[in-house]
Amino acid sequence: MDSGTAPIPARGLLRFLTCGSVDDGKSTLIGRLLHDAGLIPDDQLVQARRESRGRTGEENGIDVSLLVDGLEAEREQGITIDVAHRFFATDRRSFIVADAPGHEQYTRNMATAASTATLAVLLVDARKGLLTQTRRHAVVCSLMGIRHVVLAVNKMDLAGCDEAVHTAIARAFADFAAPLSFATVTAIPLSARRGDNVVHRSAAMGWYRGPTLLEHLETAAVEDGDASAGPLRFLVEWVNRPSPDMVSDFRGLSGTLLSGRLEPGDAVTVWPSGRSARVARIVAFDGDRPLAQAGDAVTVTLEEAVDAARGDLLAGPDEEPEVADQFAAHLLWMAEEPLIPGRSYLLRAGARWMPATVTALRHAVNVETLEHTAAATLGMNAIGLCNLSTAAPLAFDAYAASRRTGSFILVDRFSNRTVGAGMIRHPLRRAANLHRQELAVSAEERASAKRQRPAVLWFTGLSGAGKSTVANRLERRLHALGHHTMMLDGDNVRLGLNRDLGFTDADRVENIRRVGEVAKLMTEAGLIVLCAFIAPFRAEREVLRALFPEGRFLEVFVDAPLEECMRRDPKGLYAKARSGTLRNFTGIDSPYERPEAPDLRLDTTVEDADALAARVIADLRARGILGA
C-alpha cells in the first residue's frame, strides 16, 4: 500500500497486542486497521455490512468491530472474554495481533497474550484519560517483557480532536511509565470509529505530525533478535524410550531448542543435575539433521548414558543456567481466592511440575502509583515481589534474559486452576550454603530401642470435636504401655513457638507449617507424635503428609457435627464467634475442609474418648507402628 512515505525495507514478523480498559475500542481499532488497509476478504465485508444494518452511523455502513473473527461472545454479551488472535500482512511486514479483554476479571487472559508479544498498543479513551485498568495493563506489559508501547489515544473525535487533550494524556502516561522498563513509548491520537490516524492521516487533527498507527507498526524496530545467537537452551519435553517389545536400544531426549545452535559432537550439560555428555544424533520427523536452530522441535541422543528427565535443560558447557530451589520472582495473582504464603501450590516451569511455596511476600505493587507497599497476601489481579521455594532444584534463567526459561505458573493443587503467573528475577543464595547433616543414629535405630516405629498422628476436626481429649487419653495409654510419645496441642504451641501468629488464613497456614516441621524433627528422635490441630485446609494437610515417608503420617479425623461442637463449646469460642467478637473462627466465618479419605475416622458422638483411644491403639498395632 502507498502511505505517501519513501519505500523502506520489509521487516520480519511483529507480534503485538491491543489492551486497555473496557470499551476503549480495541476490537474496533483492529477492525478499522484491517478494513482500511484492504486486508478483509470480500465475503467478510458483505457479512459485516449485513450485520451492521441499523447499528451504525458510519458513512460506509459497517461496524468495523464485526470484521474481527471470533467475537460472537462480544457481540452477544458486549464483552470480550478470550484473547482473539489474527494474522495479517502488508507488503512491509507480517503481523500476529492479539485482542486482549479489558475487564479486570480477565487480566489473566491479557497477561497470557503479553507473554509472547513484543509490542503493545495500549488504548485510552480520550474522554476518560488513564484509568486503573490502563495502568494495570501497562505494568503487566512491563513485567511480561514488552519493551515497546503505542499509547493509542482513541475516540479523539468525541473529545473535539483537541490537541491539548491528547498532550495531557500523553504526558500523564509518560510520567506514570517512567519507572517501567519500556524502551519506547509512542503516543498516537486517533479515532478507530472514523479511521483517523489508523491507516490514513486525519484531516481533523492536522496538528499531529507523527506516523499513523499502521506506519508505526510497519516500521517499528522491535525484532526479538537472532535467538540462535543466544546461549544454548534445549528444553527436554519428553524422554523417548523404546517400548518393551522393541529390540532397539534407542533413547532420545525430545523437545524444543529455545535458543542457540546444536550439532552432533557438541558438548552439552544436563541441568539441574550438572552431568555432561556429547550429542550423538539430532533427529527430526524427516530424519537425521546436521544442525538444529532455535525453534526446531527435535530429538537429541547423547553419546554417554546421562540421565535426564522431562523439564531438564541442555546447555552449553560455558553457558550454564541458574540452578536453585529458592528464588525471587514477580507474581501476578489470577485467582479470586487470595495468595496464602506458606501454602503449597504446583509450579510449572517449562515442562517440569513440582510443589512450590511462596515463603515470603516482599511487597505488593500499587498499580496506581507503582509504589511498593507492605502486604500479607495478594488478591485477584494484584502484583507482588515474592520469594519462592521449590521441592527440588530448578534450572532457569532470569526472565529479563529469557521469557521461556524465566517464567512459571502456579496451579492450585486441588482445583487444578492456574492461580498465578511468575517472572523470575534471581536465585536466592541463602540455601546454597546449607547442607543436610547426616546423623550417626537413624530415626529407625532410635525407635527400635523403644519397640515402636516413629509416626505422626494428626488429629484434625472442628473446635470442640474432641481432638485434644482423645489424643490425651491415647497418649496416657501409650505411656502406660511403655511407648515414647510427645503431644503437640494447638493452644500450647500458640503460647510459645507460634505466639506471633494470628488466625487469618495465612497465619493458619504458617502455624501448621511450623508444627509439621517440629513434628518431623521429633520423629527423627523415634517418637510417636500426637498433634491436635484443626488444620482446616486440605492443601496444608497434604503438604504435611508429603513431609514424611510413606506410612509415617496418619490423618485422624475427629468427626462431630458443627451443631454438636457449638453445643459443647468447651472454651466459649463459638459464643464469641457468633456474637462477632471473635473473627476468622473455623466453622463460623472461616471454612473447614473435611478430610476426604482420612486414615482413621473417630466419631465422638458415638463412642467415648477411652473407646476411641483403644481403637487407635489397635490400628497402630495393625500397621506395625507399635511393637509387642
Give the model confidence (pLDDT) of 523-548 as tens digits.
Answer: 988 899 999 998 888 888 888 898 89
Quote the strand ranges of 397-484, DSSP E: 407-411, 418-427, 455-460
User: Comparing 13-17, 28-32, 258-262, 583-587, which segment has the lowest mean pLDDT?
Assistant: 583-587
Flag whether 627 is in a domain: no
Whether residue 391 sits in one domain with residue 267: no
Flag whether 3 is in a domain: no
Flag whether 560 is in a domain: yes
Query: What is residue 320's predicted lDDT score, i.e. its pLDDT?
Result: 92
As a residue count, the chain comes to 628
Query: What is residue 243's predicted lDDT score, i.e. its pLDDT?
Result: 55
Flag whether 2 is in a domain: no
Flag whether 544 is in a domain: yes
Whether residue 606 sits in one domain with residue 462: yes
Q: Which whole-number Å values give the CA distances from 546 to 205, 344, 552, in the listed order? A: 65, 11, 10
Query: What is residue 141's predicted lDDT score, i.e. its pLDDT?
Result: 92
What percent of the chain is modeled with pLDDT above 70? 86
- Distance CA(358)–CA(522), nearest Å, equals 25
- The domain that holds 395 is classified in CATH as 2.40.30.10
- Distance CA(517)–CA(553), nearest Å, equals 13
Flag whether 9 is in a domain: no
Q: Which whole-number Å values give the CA distances from 548 to 9, 438, 516, in the listed order? A: 63, 17, 10
Query: What is the 8-class DSSP label of residue 526?
Result: T
State the pLDDT confidence band at 46, using cuts at 50, 70 and 90.
Answer: low
The three grid cell numbers given for residue 97, joined into one nine-digit string: 495481533
- The domain that holds 542 is classified in CATH as 3.40.50.300
Whether residue 343 sits in one domain with residue 270: no
Whether residue 384 sits in one domain with residue 339: yes
Whether residue 577 sits in one domain with residue 484: yes
- Distance CA(354)–CA(416), nearest Å, equals 13
Q: Which whole-number Å values give the CA distances from 608 to 378, 467, 475, 530, 555, in the listed order? A: 44, 12, 15, 18, 19
The three grid cell numbers given for residue 605, joined into one nine-digit string: 458422638
Query: What is residue 247's predicted lDDT score, i.e. its pLDDT?
Result: 47
Query: What is residue 80's predicted lDDT score, i.e. its pLDDT?
Result: 42
Whether residue 612 sits in one domain with residue 536: yes
Q: Which are the contacts of 82, defined by CB distance < 8 A and separation ≥ 6?
A: 70, 73, 101, 109
Q: Which residue has the higher pLDDT, 278 or 77?
A: 278
- Distance CA(494)–CA(486), nearest Å, equals 16
Query: What is residue 109's predicted lDDT score, i.e. its pLDDT?
Result: 83
Write down which residue in 430, 455, 477 finishes a domain: 430
State the pLDDT confidence band at 41, using cuts at 50, 70 and 90.
Answer: low
Query: What is the 8-class DSSP label of residue 388?
Result: E
The three grid cell numbers given for residue 202, joined into one nine-digit string: 486525519
Strand ranges of the sheet holding 94-99, from the earlier edge strand across to the other edge? 84-89, 94-99, 14-20, 119-125, 148-154, 184-189
The three-state (H, E, C) secondary structure of 299-323, written as one string: EEEECCCCCCCCCCEEECCCCCCEE
Write down which residue in 315, 330, 352 finishes a domain: 315
Question: Collapsing DSSP states into helix, strand and coil, what is residue 167?
Answer: helix
State the pLDDT confidence band at 435, using cuts at 50, 70 and 90.
Answer: low
Please tell me the total count of domains within the chain.
4
pTM of the model: 0.74
Flag whether 131 is in a domain: yes
Whether residue 195 sits in one domain with residue 271: no
Closest CA to 28 of 196, 209, 201: 196
Q: How far apart are the first and last CA of the chain?
A: 91
The three grid cell numbers given for residue 504, joined into one nine-digit string: 487469618
Whether residue 416 sits in one domain with residue 465: no
Summarize the confidence of residues 445-470 as an average pLDDT: 89
Closest CA to 537 of 498, 602, 605, 591: 591
Quote the strand ranges of 494-596, DSSP E: 528-532, 553-559
Whether residue 82 sits in one domain with residue 162: yes
The three grid cell numbers given for residue 207, joined into one nine-digit string: 496538528
Closest CA to 224 of 382, 100, 402: 402
Whether residue 101 sits in one domain with residue 178: yes
pLDDT tens, residue by residue, 250-267: 678 999 999 999 999 999
- Distance CA(379)–CA(371), nearest Å, equals 17
Whether residue 84 sits in one domain with residue 204: yes
Whether residue 410 sits in one domain with residue 462: no
Q: Containing domain of residue 294, as a range?
A: 227-242+251-315
Flag whether 373 is in a domain: yes
Supply the mean pLDDT for the chain. 86
Write down which residue in 315, 335, 370 finishes a domain: 315
Query: What is residue 437's predicted lDDT score, i.e. its pLDDT?
Result: 63
Sign of the CA dihedral with 488 first, then 491, 495, and 501 last: positive
Query: Could you count the other beta carbons within 10 Å of the beta carbon of residue 405?
Result: 25
The three grid cell numbers given for residue 571, joined into one nine-digit string: 472454651
Query: What is residue 588's predicted lDDT score, i.e. its pLDDT?
Result: 86
Q: Cα angle vertex 334, ends 513, 331, to 5°?
A: 65
The three-state (H, E, C) secondary structure of 221-275, written as one string: CCCCCCHHHCCCEEEEEEEECCCCCCCCCCCEEEEEEEECEECCCCEEEEECCCE
